[in-house]
Amino acid sequence: MGLLDKILGNDEPTKKADFSDVQSGSSSTAPAPAQTSSMGANSGRTYTVVEGDSLSKIAKHQYGDANKWHAIYEANRDKIKNPDLIHPGQVFTIPDVS
């Protein structure tokens, strides 16, 4: 079958579907859990990702410290699958950090 596919030119690997532009969201009729800790509390601020942004770049801009990108990552785990891969148009919550 492999030889037949080669002869017929059907042995090219199938192109993987690209889902990089998938957008997602959620909402609930249930209330959100109460914040119990001041660390990482929602400041109410949001930031919309633009072309060329990275989490450390946003942290540098928001906190003056690129090393605080973890705080943004943790506060937006539902939106960030890979901290090295964020997309323009994503809206991130900017938590308060001490």
Partner 1 sequence: MHRRLWLIPAFAGLLAASACSKKADTAADTAATTTAAPAVQVTSVDLGPAVGADNHVTGSTDTFQPNQTVYAAVSTDGTSPNATLTARWTYQDGQVVDSSARSIAPTGPAVTEFHVSKPSGWPKGDYKVEVMLNGASVQTKSFKVK
List of residues contacting partner 1 (CB under 8 A)? 16-17, 19, 21-34, 77-79, 81
**Cβ count within 10 A of residue 55:** 22
Q: Which is nearer to partner 1, 43 or 89 (CB)?
A: 89
Least distance (Å) from partner 1 to the CB of residue 8?
23
Structure tokens at 78: 């539902």
Rounded Cα gap, residues 2 and 13, in angstroms: 12
Comparing CB distances to partner 1, the nearer of 29 and 98 is 29
The conformation of residue 16, written as its DSSP 8-state character, comes to P
Chain-centre distance of CA 79, in angstroms?
A: 5
Element (H, E) at 44: strand 42-48
The residue (of 75 and 97) whose beta carbon lies closer to partner 1 is 75
* Shortest CB 10 distance to partner 1, Å: 18
Distance in Å, CB of 85 to partner 1, minimum: 13
